[in-house]
Amino acid sequence: MGLADVTRTDLTLLHAPSVYDFREKTMMMGPVADAVPSTDEFEMYPVGMTSIATYLGRNHYNVRIVNLAYRMLRDPRFDVVGRIRGLRSTVFGIDLHWLPHAQGALAIGELVKRFHPQSYVLYGGLSSSYYHRELVGYPFVDFVLRGDSTEEPCRQLLSALRRGEGLDKVENLTWKGQDGKVMVNPLTFVPSDIDYVNVPDYLYAITTVFKYRSLEDIAPYVRWLKHPTTMLLGARGCSFDCSVCGGSRSAYQEICQRTKPAFRSPEKLVSDIRSIRLFSRGPIMLIHDPRIGGTERAERFFSLLRREKVTNELIFELFYPADDRFFEVVRESVRSWSLQISIETPLERLRSLDRLKFQVPNSKVEETISGALSSGCNRLDLFFMTGLPHQSFDDAMSVVPYCERLLDRFDSDKRLRFFVSPLGPFLDPGCEAFEDPSQGCRSFHRSLEDHRRALLLQTWRSVLSYETDAMTRDQIITASYDVASALNELKFRRGIIDAKTFRWVSSQQRTARLVLARLEEVTLLPEEERDAAFREIRNLVESAKMDTLFSKRELDWPTGGGLRVGPSLLLALVAGLVKEASYSMYRLAGRYDTDVYSGERPTTEVLFRSGES
């Protein structure tokens, strides 16, 4: 085996923008990304990409990640076709995790197959898993890996391709036989914990910057270098069953055959924190409430945190009320901490009807807020949503007086922040509201192809995939802007935001409403006039795509110094490069597939275990 075999790429993971030709197309999907770090092209790739890359690296496969969406956003002249044509890989993997990527992910797959007809095109993610039969029917799609944990099935697939073996034993795989017949292998790889992988694996990201000499390929999202928030993944799956969430318990059961969450152990979470601290002073967010794995797990996690003496700010999610004892444990365990709480609506009956988090009286919500603020919480973000099933226009607007009441109770405490965003642009497949119309939603887009085509439409109203039993699509859009506008005014009046932020958001909201109305008018023009009219207003449309509900800066945490540049970063780099060199030595020796997953965790000893720095 020669050097070429060591350096060749076995799998290239590509992350596509929401809409492939967004740089030329005039469209406005609405404020679908205001409450997340990325833009409305959702350039933040799934963290599972890094765990796949690391797991396969430990098994002596070369894997790289190329964030095409980020590259396209950062450089209007970035040549996507040229970049894809220049890549060489046995398999190209494309994530289709959430449906807003339906058009871009399919377009990139089609380009890959056009320029690399001898390579295989693989899809994965929750939406890919839900639509696996339809997806593999596209002529450019060879494989779909189903489920929420595809690291080991992906190893099995690469191993079978490398050895020229049949694919019928590859777990979780949907594929086409030589006669074009769709084959669906059993979805049997559903691990009960996620300690067998590093997820996310930031050391892989650091190493790959130097290995492939490109920071842009691996960057998570456009604003990350200035605001480097990192995350810990506490679990795959959820114990809650919110009717509108594609990550709910019932959705995971249907799509991934997961009956309960797979947790990451407290020891692994703290190991992840150590890795992050090598390169970042910024805040670290724990995805999932730390208590949902049980009291014993939570106590162990906070006990380890206390010994670790973490200086980074920790951001925790809460899914249900917390008492003073919990906040005492948090205060004793970390130096700096904040909370994010999504109650979605101040109306208790709606939280119960839609099976949302915090199915308790508002008095319990407020006791939790009070306990957090009095215990030293740096900041508490409270999130609400418009477009819920059974939620009327007046119900949506009830967010504003409720937030004002909270400000009255807590003396306009500036640590208390409020955010509201619409449920959209699509209902998640697999959630109860998508599957069962009696839950209060009527879907206009059902198939994968429906969603792909919807993303090519120009207006939020056309893209929005549903209406509810209480609001039409037009009412959902109007309510989203009206409640955001009133909340913006309230936050300014009570000193939560400054005058500059208030004026900017107000201006953006006015522009967005005007642009949407103009876009609707243009769509009614004769076809021969339409394209020219869209080009004429394109710049105005682009200017109205951000900060239309609140300023993105309101979501930012103080970074505490941001990224580290110095000995600790060098240590992280050396650790990653030593691992990479060791994997290459194994490849040169022809020692493949030495870390095969079996049961609860890998069974054979490897040079570097998952999670060790």
Asked if residue 418 is part of any domain, the answer here is no
Residue 508's identity, in one-letter code, is Q
Asked if residue 386 is part of any domain, the answer here is no
pLDDT in tens, 475-508: 999 999 999 999 999 999 999 999 999 999 999 9
pLDDT in tens, 356-395: 999 999 999 999 999 999 999 999 999 999 999 999 999 9
pLDDT in tens, 69-127: 999 999 999 999 999 999 999 999 999 999 999 999 999 999 999 999 999 999 999 99
- Domains in the chain: how many in total? 1
CATH number of the domain within which 157 lies: 3.40.50.2300
Helices (H), 436-498: 448-454, 460-463, 473-493
498 CB-near residues (< 8 Å, 6+ apart) = 492
* Nearest by Cα to 54 from 143, 120, 152: 152
Asked if residue 366 is part of any domain, the answer here is no
Q: What is the mean pLDDT of residues 548-553?
A: 93
- Residue 142 CA to residue 611 CA, distance in Å, equals 32
Residue 132's Cβ-side half-sphere holds a number of Cα atoms within 13 Å equal to 26
Kindly write down the DSSP assignment for every residue of 266-322, as one continuous string.
HHHHHHHHHHHHTTB-S-EEEES-TTTT-HHHHHHHHHHHHHHT--SPEEEEESS--
* Nearest by Cα to 130 from 141, 149, 146, 106: 146
Asked if residue 583 is part of any domain, the answer here is yes
In DSSP terms, 339 is beta-bridged to 316, 380
Q: pTM here?
A: 0.91
- Residue 189 CA to residue 369 CA, distance in Å, equals 40
- Residue 582 CA to residue 596 CA, distance in Å, equals 17
434 falls in which pLDDT band (50, 70, 90)?
A: very high
Q: Check residue 83 and give its pLDDT.
A: 96
| Structural domain span for residue 78 | 3-195+571-591
CA 531, 537, 538, 544 dihedral sign is negative
Q: Give yes or no for a contact between 208 and 54, defined as CB atoms under 8 angstroms apart.
A: no
- Residue 113 CA to residue 141 CA, distance in Å, equals 8
Asked if residue 143 is part of any domain, the answer here is yes
CA distances from 478 to 49, 384, 393, 440, 474 (A): 37, 16, 9, 19, 6
Q: Check residue 172 and give its pLDDT.
A: 98
Asked if residue 364 is part of any domain, the answer here is no
- Residue 362 CA to residue 407 CA, distance in Å, equals 14
Asked if residue 34 is part of any domain, the answer here is yes
574 CB-near residues (< 8 Å, 6+ apart) = none
Asked if residue 275 is part of any domain, the answer here is no
- Residue 242 CA to residue 263 CA, distance in Å, equals 19
